Each structure stands twice: as C-alpha cells, then as structure tokens.
Chains A and B, each alone.
Chain A
C-alpha cells in the first residue's frame, strides 16, 4: 500500500508523511488561509465587514451623540456607546460564520472536504480561527475609529486588554452557533432570514439603552442577554459609563461575561459537531 502514485508520465505526487495531530493543525491553518484569501480576492467584502461598524460608530457617535444622555448616569454618550458598538459587531459576527458554512454546504465544498483524507475537525476549526482573526481586525479598526472621535478607555491597559478578551470570547462562542445554524439552514438565501433573529437579539440588550428604561417584561430579558453581559463588562473594564442596573446579573457583568460564552459554547459546540456528523446519515 504505497502512497506514491503517478499520472500519465507526470512527476509523482507524494503526500508528506506526518502524524495525525500535525495534520489536524496544518489542515485547520489551510482552511483559515482559504477564508482569509477570500478577503484578498474580494477587498469589497473587507469594506463591508469593517466599513459597516465604522460607519455605525461615526453615525451613532455624531448623530445621537449630542442628543442622547448616558442612561441614569454621568458622562459622555459616546463613551457609553462605543463598547456597545464593539459588542454588537462581535454579536453580528455569527451571521458571517453561518453564511460561510451554509454556502460551502450547499455548494458541495464541505462534501469535497469530507471525501478527502484531511482532518474532518479542520473544516469548522479553520472557519472559527479565521473568524477570530477577522474579529481581531474588526476590533482594532473600531477601537482606532472610536479613539479618533474621542472615546477613551481610562481604566488602565490591563483592564482594556481584559475587555477586548471578553469581546473575543463572545465572538468565539458565537462561532459554534454560526456553524450549527449554517448546517441547519438549507440554503444561503434561507440564512439571510436569520438577520430577522439576529437584529432583535442584539437590540434587546444594553447596547443602546439601559434595561431599566425598558418595559418591565422586557427589562429582565435585556439584562440577561449574553450580549448585555459582555457589553456591561466591557464598559466596566474600559472605565466607561455603564447602564447602571441593580439586578444580580448586571452587578456581576464581568463574571457573566465569562460564564455566558462558556455556556453558549458548551451547548452549541456539541450541537455543531453532532450536526456535522449527521451529514453522513
């Protein structure tokens, strides 16, 4: 059982011998590279993916900035809003994951990968890794834009790093929601309908408004929204004005900013893996 094969007189092709663990990592990096090459091939997508949050930052910052007051507190609305914009961008990211996965699944690309001797885990892991790389780029650009219009984190470098880490942790947990959804919905067109779910999910939160200002039935939902926990935690860590709130979940935002993504990952990572395995049923 030799691995060396020849094609009609052309030089032989020899797979490089390495262990499974090596290839699991290398395959993942190759899939990541594939998605990042997409940005190089279609720079307009960078403009879309990064331009949208930038425009939002500028828009909300200038249009609402003067009109809005920080809910129940002192300070500049811009300082309140910016962490909200960061978390919103992270939260919407699962749509990009879902779109990428459903496109590959419906075009047969995932089947091609599955018929190849590569590590099956690399298909999703590579996608996830590229999502994190993109999220880092998004956060960098957003933060620079925010600083340019006057946003300041004034709670020290370490806390600021911790805030960005929590934002990335949220994005990480939503990768698995995205992979799962991408394997559940039948077509990219159907996946477009997910925006109808994504929008309220991020809006019913403390991103723009304090839950305490919402109707009684809505306030707890907004307060317990994982997006709110990350948002509130980021504000705390950046030293920006917060949305206040006296409920337990609002008082323990940093803790919940760690717990929520872990819960989401614990639920959706196995669901995504199961869904992937079910492709062979």
Chain B
C-alpha cells in the first residue's frame, strides 16, 4: 500500500488551549497491521491526539505522519487513507443505514454504483442488513456504533482511528465491536484505539501507550506493562473484620512487602513471589487459627494495577475538570 515504515509516527506533539497543554511533547509509533491501544484517564489528551492525527486539529508543535504522509502539509492525502470513529457515533440519524453509507461512499468519491455496492457489502459485514432501510435514529447504541464503524471503513483505510468505540455499549455490543476490529486488522488495517477500559486494551491491542497529562508515560506490550508492576498478588477476604490483624500477620510472613489492608472489603493483599507456596502457607495458617475465610486466591497484576502505578492515585477526573475551567 505504501512504503512508510510505520502506520503512525508522531514526535513531540504539542497542543495548547490557552495556558493548558492538552498535549505536551507526545510521542507515538503504531506498527503496520496492529491494534495499538492509547490508554489514559479523563482529560489525558487521547481525543486531542486522535484529532490531530485525523487532520481535524492543527498542532502547535511537533510532527506527525500517517502512512508516511505529513498530517499538516498533506492533510488531503492523509484523509484519503484514514477512517475515523469519534467519541460518539457520527451518522445522519434521519437517513437510513444504507443511505448513510451510500452518501459517505459518494463523498469518498466512489461514484454512485460503487458506493451502493460497497454500502451493501458493509451492511452485510456489520450485520446491519436487516435494519438497512430503517432510519439510523431508531438504531440501538450498538447498531449505531457498527454503522459508524462501517462508515469509517468505506475506503478500507490503511489506518483506522477509534476513539473510545465501546463507551456506553452493553457487553454484547462491545464484543461485537471488538470482533469487527479484529477482522479489520486481519485484512491489513492498522488501528489506533483509545480507551479507558483496560480490559479492552488488554484484549485487542498488541501494544499500548499510556498517556497522562499530554505525555506518553509508558509504551509496551500488555504483558510487558504488567511485568513492570511485578509479581502476583495474594488476596484474602475474611468474614469477620476482627480477624484482619491476624490475617495481616499470616500474609506478612510470605509477602514481598507490607501487606495492604482494605478495611471496607475486609481484604488483605500483598505481592508474592513464590506463588503456590505462599498460597498454601497462608491457607494452612488461617485454617489452623480457625479464621473464617470468604475468599482466598492469587491474582495476576491487571492493567489497572499498571495504570494506577504509572499515573499515581491522583483523582484524574477532578484535576482535568479544574484545568478545563481555568482554560475556558
């Protein structure tokens, strides 16, 4: 398709809103034919980054290329090879699903016949044929999302930007969207996916960039990111809160560091290295002491742990909101 080394390459992106830097030296590299997750709390700059790469926003500094084409100097050429699904479904709610896809197809310069044929194919592919001639305004959230995805697929883009494609969808619609994304990637499209759902990034992405306050603070595979948090966790939940001190003592003997207690959930957790030995040891001790255990088990570190570790326990939403207020 093109000889560019990367599907997306961004270096030192800066975007200012007044005094606020929505992007502050943001770097990103997306390899061809992969799903790349862009993960970050509210206000981190995910949407801003996507909008710059999709030529919707001008940047204040840095350089970005999509498929080797500069997004500023040759915006039109970039538009010919990307698809964009924004944070909410951008379809015409009065037109039918088919009319939407045919209109977008003609605006992608396919010509009438080709646009109609492509619309039919996409309706089939996204399981919308039965509802094809109903108004998009009557579609469910999941169907509208799929129509939106279909519209961004009309030209079979080499890079597809998905900004929180499953926010607000029920679990079934969510897995349908995931299925669509997987089949796209199988056909050669590269995807940049922003999400707040760690599970989503974990399932779909082969590489993840964590963004916070306009900067990339980590870039790794999901497993690599998890490894940065280290070993497994041992968790014990007891029936009686009064038993917590005894549990802490039992866990402390096998833990890597200080065990952590969550009083409200009557839970004690700690990082452990020798997983099975630690589990058996603690289980036996608690049984010997006659402590009623509700739940005990080992947990692999989740991306949540990674995320919290990297971004700190700062309440992200509040700080972002305050800054918006100040900038406006």
Question: Which residues in A have some Cβ–Cβ distance to B below 8 Å?
Answer: 1-3, 5-11, 13-16, 18, 23, 26-27, 30-31, 33-34, 37-38, 41-42, 107-109, 111-118, 122, 279-281
Contacts and interface: CB of A to CB of B under 8 A. Distances in A.
Chain B, interface residues (CB within 8 Å), range: 35 or more
B92 A118 contact: no
Contact of B57 (A2, A3, A38, A280): A280
- Main SS of chain A's interface residues? mixed
Given A13-B114, A13-B156, A118-B108, 17 more contacts: A1-B77, A2-B1, A5-B158, A8-B186, A13-B110, A16-B114, A34-B103, A41-B96, A107-B88, A108-B87, A108-B89, A109-B91, A109-B92, A111-B51, A111-B90, A112-B90, A116-B107
Contacts of A41: 94-96, 99, 135
A115 B158 CA distance: 14
20 contacts: A1-B77, A3-B80, A7-B156, A9-B187, A10-B121, A13-B155, A16-B110, A18-B109, A26-B106, A26-B109, A30-B103, A30-B107, A41-B96, A41-B99, A107-B88, A107-B90, A109-B90, A109-B91, A112-B104, A116-B108
A280 B53 CA distance: 12
Contacts of A107: 88, 90-91, 93
B276 interface: no
Interface string B226-244: 0000000000000000000
B107 to A, nearest CB: 5
A115 B186 contact: no
Interface string B90-128: 111111100100011011111100100110010001000
A16 B6 CA distance: 27
A112 B2 contact: no
Nearest to B99: A37
A4 to B, nearest CB: 9
B132 interface: no
B205 interface: no
Contacts of B187: 6-9
Nearest to A1: B2
B88 A108 contact: yes
B181 to A, nearest CB: 13
Nearest to A29: B106
Contacts of A18: 109
Contacts of A8: 183, 186-188
B249 interface: no
A279 B95 CA distance: 25
Interface string B145-169: 0000001111111100000000000
A7 B149 CA distance: 14
